[in-house]
Amino acid sequence: MKHVFLLFVLLLGLIPMKAQPSIEWQRAIGGSQGDEAFSLQLRNTNQLMVAGFSLSNDGDFQGGFGATEIWLTQMDSLGQVVWRQHYGGTADDRVHSIKSIQDQGWVFAGSTNSNNFHVSGNHGLRDAWVVKLDSTGSIEWQKCLGGSGYDEAWDIVETSDGGYIVVGNSDSNDGDLLENNGLNDIWIIKLDNNGSLLWQHTYGGSDNERGFAVTCTADGGFILAGKSFSDDGDVGELLGGYDYWVLKLNYEGKIEWTRILGGSGHDDGSDIIQTYDGGYAVFGQSRSMDMDVSDNHGNYDLWLVKLDLEGKLVWERSYGGTNEDYGRSIIQSLDGGFIMVGQTQSTDGDAVGNNGLADAWIIKTDSLGNIAWQKSLGGTQDELFHAVEQGADGAIYLAGHARSNNGDVSGVHGKIDYWVVKLGATTSVSHEPIPLRVQLFPNPSAQWLQLGLPVVEQDMQVQISDATGALQGTWKVQSDARLDISGLSSGVYYVSVLSVSGQRYAGQFVKE
């Protein structure tokens, strides 16, 4: 019998031609003022959490405390609202990242200028704000982090020990900050499961740095991405303007290596993921057409960079047209390719089907970054996607903002609304059975691995293979769909689940 890993790779390698997906539903959520959805999380098959902030105090967002309020909206797979809650104080409060966590609750990270109502412990002008919620959205704890200056959190990830890693930026050198290299530094924070600060580090040079994305890596460390304008300190040589800045850290947050990517123009890294092959994909936007950047269609292009495990550039691709095009988030798709979202103002080049002004834009590629399909979504005004998730059934969920009330958009309440869209799974020309992706968490994990299966059937079989394809064992799924993986060595592993009905699921996890 062939190894499960080999079967998984063969299935993913089929790269069939796929049709462009169509909209299954779209929802505009908001009030009469400005409302922006910034982050999206899909849990199992029927829990969709949308996080953003709002200036409204009417329509869908009534009862806020003050200026800009954080609003979370949990929806089902049909786009119906399950519950909605607001968080913050009387000043400006914003959320940039929300994550589903192992205890079935939620954690979000952003920033706050408030120091009342839900917010306490603010250090100064603006603090990074981290909030832990239970499954119904009630606050279990909140933590203001920062100093007397301007401090923000942009991304948060649960770690295998039940704590959290947070990345953002800071210009403070007091309070929770031990040092500042000059102007804004990238700031990384490690919290325990109660929100207590375990350690923090700042990275940068004498000019401005911003940290936007962080993820846990296979070796128990962290990889983070942002941008840098310095040519000294931790940064070293700058290529020109802002550059992508990628930092690989160990489990204590100490630098193992860094990588500057870009050209002589401005290059802004906004997201990073560890890929199925153990390397990394860095995503954002670029104005360059030299040095690391081989092509530019005009103004800003979306720019995707594939790195190997040591941070060496493997390949890079630019996507766009002659106008401004911006990249916000990336995920690796079920078939091993990539799904990227942002905005396009172009009507040429790679951007086909613009509805007017700026459209929200989604691009699907193969594993080498070649476009499989792209879709412009919106109306005659301005739309943008900040976040993307793909379900185990292949459906794609998107969140951002909409100003239009025509074209693909309906139901906008005022100036600008949250915009949430579900695209149906693309239909393959090939009839080969392609496994559905199973959600695995926590990931990385040291002992227990939870399988996020839509349905748990009695006697379902789970096989785990290592990165070489060698079968490491077979497990039988119990009612809690939880596996003890403590006997595995550290590394990357592949999971194959075969249901009694014949449906196959596949996924990847990192054993710490």
pLDDT for res 57: 95
Q: For the ranges 16-25, 66-75, 441-450, which has the lowest average pLDDT? A: 16-25
19 exposed, middle or buried (CB, 10 Å; 0-12, 13-18, 19+)? exposed
pTM of the complete model: 0.84
Query: Distance between CA 437 and CA 430 in Å, rounded?
Result: 18
Q: How confident is the model at residue 133 (pLDDT cuts 50, 70, 90)?
A: very high
Q: For the ranges 83-97, 294-308, 435-449, which has the lowest average pLDDT? A: 435-449
Cis peptide before 442 (omega within 30 of 0): yes
pLDDT for res 105: 95
Query: Distance between CA 294 and CA 305 in Å, rounded?
Result: 11
CATH of the domain spanning 436-511: 2.60.40.3080
Per-residue pLDDT tens over the stretch 257-310: 999 999 999 999 999 999 988 899 999 999 999 999 999 999 999 999 999 999
DSSP reduced 3-state for 353: coil
Q: For the ranges 84-98, 380-394, 402-416, 417-431, which has the lowest average pLDDT? A: 417-431
Residues making up the chain, counted from first to last: 512
Please choose, from the candidates 144, 166, 143, the residue with its C-alpha nearest in 3D space to the C-alpha of residue 155.
Answer: 166
Those residues whose C-beta lies under 8 Å from the C-beta of residue 181, and which sit 6 or more positions away, are 202, 203, 204, 205, 206, 230, 233, 234
Phi, psi for 35 (deg, rounded to 5): -135, 130
∠ CA 142-145-150, rounded to 5°: 130
The answer to whether the CB of 169 falls within 8 A of the CB of 149 is no
Q: Greatest CA separation found in the chain?
A: 63
Which residues belong to CATH 2.60.40.3080 in the chain?
436-511
What pairs with residue 39 in β-bridges?
51
The answer to whether the CB of 45 falls within 8 A of the CB of 77 is yes
Task: Give first-to-last CA distance, the chain, whole Å.
Answer: 29
Tokens of 135: 């499954």
pLDDT for res 482: 86
489 exposed, middle or buried (CB, 10 Å; 0-12, 13-18, 19+)? exposed
Query: Distance between CA 325 and CA 359 in Å, rounded?
Result: 10
Query: Distance between CA 342 and CA 385 in Å, rounded?
Result: 5
pLDDT for res 9: 38
Q: How confident is the model at residue 29 (pLDDT cuts 50, 70, 90)?
A: very high
